Amino acid sequence: MNLEAIIQEAVSQAVSVLYQFETEPAQIQLQKTKKEFEGDVTVVVFPFVKAARKSPEGAGQEIGEYLVQNSHVISAFNVIKGFLNLSINRTYWIDLLNNISANEKFGTVASDDNSPLMMIEYSSPNTNKPLHLGHIRNNLLGFSISEIQKANGWQVVKTNIVNDRGIHICKSMLAWKLFGNGETPESTGMKGDHLVGKYYVVFDKAYKTEIKELMEKGMTEEEAKKNAPLMLEAQKMLLAWEQNDAEVRQLWETMNGWVYAGFDETYKELGVNFDKIYYESDTYLTGKSEVERGEAEKVFYRRDDSSVWADLTPDGLDEKLLLRADGTSVYMTQDIGTAKLRYDDYKIDKMVYVVGNEQNYHFQVLSLLLDRLGYEWGKSLVHFSYGMVELPEGKMKSREGTVVDADDLMAEMIETARETSQELGKLDNCSEEEIREIARMVGLGALKYFILKVDPRKNMTFNPKESIDFNGNTGPFIQYTHARIKSVLRKAADQRINFGTEIDKTIEISEKESYLIQLLSGFPAVVRQAGEEFSPALIANYTYDLVKEYNQFYHDFSILREENETLKIFRLNLSEAIAKVIKTAMGLLGIEVPERM
């Protein structure tokens, strides 16, 4: 039971005994005691005044006296108007730190074969372009949410659906076929996903030129877009793909192979992975079968042009296309098929889609369609809807080639981290190999932390310059603090100081030290809340608060130079516990922390 629950239980018992007033412990209001008053935790007394038939001060005095006499946790109290300020017994803090130090997995809950299973989908790239900044936020959120749910006792399957078919894929294929002159990743030295993305941009430029020419001949813009030769050829290629044309399929497999090799490099550098990957080219046929079954069962209907639709107007939505007139499928068809295959493959208790908020309507519709098709899990799908990420310069567009490439951004962050760290002297006395590894950790840590510290449901602007700062709410600030603590612990070990043993409960500790233990003790609750809300930002900002408080402590108190040996050991144990929680917390964000800097 955490401190808050212990105090609520004790106060509930006090008002029951003193005033025969029954209240649920969770309803008792607690606050952190204001700095100008003595105490650790404050109880709001006003709700008990009527039952006590006393002034707020009188009720507070009686409750405080009861708590000191009957609770081993409360050592003293004072009353300021209707607020009862409680001081926590120092032995409680020491016991708490001893327990935290002894628990290697502090803050996390282990799963077993009987734990519920959560499948989390993230990334979902198209194979016509490399990953960009928007994908980075998606991947970081998906991976971190997966780690947080594991820490809350769930079995987790991390999954990815690769959108490897469709008109957008055919655009890159056609442009390469027409303009590529046989280029390959090997012949150009380009990553495969970059090479394919180059031809997606080439298609768009050539397509716009054709539209302009057709409009000059008298067509409207809409007519020109539909009748441009390149678009007609791309649509013809898509139909040939669906009909298993050997030449088109061979080109598709070759170019997708280039892209997958490129994606794997990017995922590895970013530090994310998947347990199971699905491909739209495999799942869309299952989706088509489900749609056709739905039509046969009168759940969906076919129009005169042979297209298949769902009428969602009774649910306050509109009509949704599921199969085009030519029999080709749409994204919704694929997602129906993917959902069915996943539930066939795994006994999923909760399915979570990590997809941007521009797809809110899509997932609202998907949930309804699966429910109509008779799948009881349809309405329990979770769309984790997150906000868009932009640069200070504004939005990005893939087809215009104005995106921030994920590989380029990561390389830039690592190089900037190296330069900044060297300027500040953080890499002095490090070997070249250590410098490269620390620069990688700090650069990627800065990127990940800057993105994950923001409430995921909000749109955000990523500013690379602000993210690499060794002061303030940044990844490098937290990483450097971890390295600083590890340095202190190494020096203590070199001096043969035997820390890591249970701490003497008779020592006097400061308010700052007890507050640090209190902060540490709150970590499991933060992990639990982050899991309930799917919010890595809660972990990130908790870690910053902990690190900020520790740095103040480090500045104001001696550790290795402390003359009192028992107090020195206590402070080393406290530092070690804080380093452990920092490492665990940052690990839940997918961020590594250096042992030295």
379 shares its domain with 488: no
Could you tell me the CATH number of the domain that includes residue 185?
Answer: 3.40.50.620
Could you tell me the CATH number of the domain that includes residue 424?
Answer: 1.10.730.10
pLDDT > 60? residue 401: no
Complete DSSP assignment for 198-211: HHHHHHHHHHHHHH
Q: Looking at the domain assignment, is residue 550 inside a domain?
A: yes
* pLDDT band per the 50, 70, 90 thresholds, residue 32: confident
449 shares its domain with 321: no
75 shares its domain with 134: no
CA dihedral 483, 470, 436, 141 (to 10 degrees): 90
427 shares its domain with 341: no
177 shares its domain with 46: no
pLDDT of 393 reads 64
Closest CA to 408 of 273, 271, 269: 269
161 shares its domain with 226: yes
pLDDT > 70? residue 255: yes
Whether 168 contacts 126, CB under 8 Å? yes
Q: Looking at residue 73, what DSSP letter applies?
A: T
Q: Looking at the domain assignment, is residue 100 inside a domain?
A: no
Closest CA to 167 of 319, 295, 331, 24: 331
How far is residue 75's CA from residue 87's CA, in Å, rounded to a whole number? 6
pLDDT of 402 reads 53
* pLDDT band per the 50, 70, 90 thresholds, residue 400: very low
Q: Six-digit token pair at 100?
A: 């935290």
Find where tokens 């009881």 sit: 376
Q: Looking at the domain assignment, is residue 563 inside a domain?
A: yes
- Residue 487 contacts by C-beta under 8 Å, 6 or more apart in sequence? 596
Average pLDDT over residues 4-15: 94
Question: Which of residues 390, 417, 446 is at a domain's end?
Answer: 390
Average pLDDT over residues 173-197: 97
Average pLDDT over residues 389-415: 72
pLDDT > 50? residue 496: yes
Whether 148 contacts 530, CB under 8 Å? yes
* pLDDT band per the 50, 70, 90 thresholds, residue 318: very high
In this structure, what are the phi and psi dihedrals at residue 117, rounded to the nearest 5 degrees? -110, 125
374 shares its domain with 418: no
For Cα atoms 305, 308, 310, give the angle at the middle one, nearest 5 degrees.
Answer: 135
Average pLDDT over residues 537-554: 97
pLDDT of 226 reads 93
Mean pLDDT of the chain: 93
pLDDT > 50? residue 15: yes
291 shares its domain with 186: yes
pLDDT > 90? residue 424: no
| Lowest mean pLDDT segment, chosen from 41-45, 65-69, 315-319, 424-428 | 424-428
In this structure, what are the phi and psi dihedrals at residue 378, rounded to the nearest 5 degrees? -55, -50
364 shares its domain with 238: yes
User: In Å, how far are 296, 298, 307, 554 from 301, measured between CA atoms?
Assistant: 8, 6, 8, 70
Q: Give the rounded percent of residues in the chain with a pLDDT score beyond 70.
A: 98
Q: Looking at the domain assignment, is residue 281 inside a domain?
A: yes
Whether 7 contacts 41, CB under 8 Å? yes
Element (H, E) at 78: strand 74-80
Cα Rg for the chain, rounded, in angstroms? 30
pLDDT of 458 reads 93
pLDDT > 80? residue 271: yes
Whether 204 contacts 400, CB under 8 Å? yes
pLDDT > 50? residue 79: yes
Q: Looking at the domain assignment, is residue 552 inside a domain?
A: yes
Whether 320 contacts 369, CB under 8 Å? yes
Total domains, the chain: 3
Whether 259 contacts 196, CB under 8 Å? yes
User: In Å, how far are 13, 283, 328, 335 from 288, measured between CA atoms?
Assistant: 62, 9, 9, 10
Range list of β-strands (E), 217-313: 276-279, 301-302, 308-311
Q: Which residues partner with 323 through β-bridges?
A: 308, 329
Closest CA to 469 of 430, 540, 421, 412: 421
CA dihedral 131, 137, 142, 145 (to 10 degrees): 160
How far is residue 481's CA from residue 526's CA, in Å, rounded to a whole number? 20
| pLDDT tens, residue by residue, 438-455 | 999 999 999 999 999 999
pTM equals: 0.90
pLDDT of 500 reads 79
pLDDT > 50? residue 396: no
Question: Which of residues 88, 111, 137 is at a domain's end?
Answer: 88
Q: Looking at residue 105, what DSSP letter applies?
A: T
Q: Is 549 exposed, middle or buried (0-12, 13-18, 19+ CB in 10 A)?
A: middle
Q: Is 81 left (phi over 0), alpha (psi -120 to 50) or beta?
A: left
Q: Looking at the domain assignment, is residue 434 inside a domain?
A: yes
Q: Which residues partner with 86 through β-bridges?
A: 41, 77
| pLDDT tens, residue by residue, 91-131 | 899 999 999 999 999 999 999 999 999 999 999 999 999 99
312 shares its domain with 421: no
Find where tokens 């665990």 sit: 584
pLDDT of 398 reads 40
pLDDT of 3 reads 84
How far is residue 391's CA from residue 402's CA, in Å, rounded to a whole number? 11
Q: Using the CB atoms, write b or e for 204-231: b if 16+ within 10 Å.
A: bebbbebbeebeeeebeeeebbeebebb
Q: Looking at the domain assignment, is residue 581 inside a domain?
A: yes
Report the length, in residues, of the chain. Answer: 597
Compute the Cα dihedral for 277, 279, 282, 283 and give only its sign: positive
| Lowest mean pLDDT segment, chosen from 148-157, 249-258, 538-547, 560-569 | 560-569
How far is residue 256's CA from residue 276's CA, in Å, rounded to a whole number? 18
SS3 578: helix
How far is residue 65's CA from residue 74's CA, in Å, rounded to a whole number? 10
| CA 336 remoteness from chain centre | 25
Average pLDDT over residues 54-82: 95
Whether 290 contacts 337, CB under 8 Å? yes
544 CB-side CA count, 13 A: 21
| pLDDT tens, residue by residue, 195-254 | 999 999 999 999 999 999 999 999 999 999 999 999 999 999 999 998 999 999 999 999
Element (H, E) at 164: none
Q: Looking at the domain assignment, is residue 35 inside a domain?
A: yes
| Lowest mean pLDDT segment, chosen from 1-10, 104-113, 166-175, 189-198 | 1-10
| CA 380 remoteness from chain centre | 21
447 shares its domain with 582: yes
Could you tell me the CATH number of the domain that includes residue 19?
Answer: 3.30.1360.70
pLDDT of 1 reads 67
Whether 284 contacts 335, CB under 8 Å? no
Whether 158 contacts 351, CB under 8 Å? no
424 CB-side CA count, 13 A: 16
How far is residue 370's CA from residue 238's CA, in Å, rounded to a whole number? 27
Element (H, E) at 434: helix 432-452
376 shares its domain with 522: no
Question: Which of residues 38, 69, 88 is at a domain's end?
Answer: 88
* pLDDT band per the 50, 70, 90 thresholds, residue 421: confident
Could you tell me the residue range of the domain that residue 65 belongs to? 3-88
pLDDT of 270 reads 97
